Amino acid sequence: MNEGVLVVTLAAAVAAGTPLVLAGLGELLTERVGVVNLGVEGMMLLGAVSAFLVAQATSSVTAGMFGGMGAAALLAFVHAFLSVTMRANQIVSGLALVIFGSGIAIFLGRPIEGQPLAVHLGQLQIPLLAEIPLAGRVLFGQDIVVYVSWLLVLAAVVYLRYTKAGLWARAVGESPATADVMGVRVTAIQYGHTIVGGLLAGASGAYLILARVPNWSQASTTSGLGWIAVALVVFASWRPGRLLLGAYLFGAALRANFALQAAGMHGVPAEALAMLPYLLTITVMIVLSMRNTRQRLGAPAALGTAYIRSER
């Protein structure tokens, strides 16, 4: 593989991994407080179609991004209400969100199916840094959302490790009863993190339509990336820094098919390469279902368990 193909492939892997960084980080923050949200795919789809409609109406990429984030946050609020307040089964609630979000996206997107978006998120070359051989062209010739995603990951690391609010959040995920006794507002923290997770999932869907996909197509806009984002949290052992690296690894897997074809390597069937990221996702989801393995990886002890204050 020559250097030109390598640079293009790595840069594409970073861009392809950015939606996973955003959605995965949102799911990580949600799960850190003990709430599982499997509805990421539905929130991403709703965020994508909302971003398209708002951006098309306002001719503003920024408005489109916030529109997508807001729509997904509303869906996340529904999940928080069902999971935290009503103490519904979090797996069932999350799957319901996928169905509900996808259904709304189909309804809203039917009139615009196949239409191109008039505005588009362009690349932002960082002076001097973009001129660094190889790394500069891969990392510093991206769009602004890529750079913002790095800042968000850094902020999440600082928040969870070094701030009192982050320690409270981790305490809620490990033992909500103990946190409650210490005066921590368990319900408020779980609501807040779940809604922030929805905002980031919406940003992920909005980014796809504003920067990655040239037109609206409900069938191929997210292409299962929401499920990959959920698996990525486990893959990263609930650590933001590892999640960033894992997202780019999955991004490289998503782009492997195109890279090998461009390099003239046709020995591996294209269909097998296209399956690679989803095979990785299935493997990780199997690991997620094993409680002992999940605990060894560092999952929050109260993950997926509804907290009932009267039973503490």
The residues pairing with 215 across neighbouring beta strands, listed in sequence order, are 116
Domain 3-114+144-300 adopts which CATH fold? ABC transporter involved in vitamin B12 uptake, BtuC (1.10.3470)
**DSSP-assigned letter for residue 306:** -
pLDDT reported for residue 218: 73
Under 8 Å CB-to-CB from 234, ≥6 apart: which residues?
284, 285, 287, 288, 294, 297, 299
pLDDT reported for residue 280: 72
Q: How far apart are CA 96 and CA 77, in angstroms?
A: 13
pLDDT reported for residue 264: 56
- Domain map of the chain by residue range? 3-114+144-300
Q: Which residues of 178-199 are buried (b: 16+ CB within 10 A; e: fewer)?
A: ebbeeebebbebbbbbbbbbbb
By CB atoms closer than 10 A (0-12, 13-18, 19+), residue 84 is buried
Kindly list the distances between the CA atom of residue 214 and the CA atoms of 115, 261, 304, in Å, as whole numbers in the listed order: 9, 22, 37
What 3-state class would DSSP assign to 149?
helix
Output the six-digit token pair for 281: 């996702």
Q: How far apart are CA 229 and CA 90, in angstroms?
A: 17
If phi > 0 it is left, if psi is from -120 to 50 it is alpha, else beta; for residue 115 that is beta
pLDDT reported for residue 113: 87
DSSP 62-83: HHHHHHHHHHHHHHHHHHHIII
The residues pairing with 123 across neighbouring beta strands, listed in sequence order, are 143
The residues pairing with 143 across neighbouring beta strands, listed in sequence order, are 123
- Count how many Cα atoms sit within 13 Å of the Cα of residue 155 in the half-sphere of its side chain: 10
pLDDT tens profile 271-308: 666 677 777 777 766 766 665 666 667 789 999 888 87
Low-confidence stretches of the chain (pLDDT < 70) are: 1-5, 219, 256-274, 284-285, 287-296, 310-312
pLDDT tens profile 145-173: 999 999 999 999 999 999 999 999 999 99
Alpha helices in the chain (DSSP H): 3-32, 40-58, 61-80, 90-109, 135-139, 144-162, 164-174, 176-181, 186-207, 225-235, 240-262, 270-288, 291-297
pLDDT reported for residue 295: 64
pLDDT reported for residue 259: 61
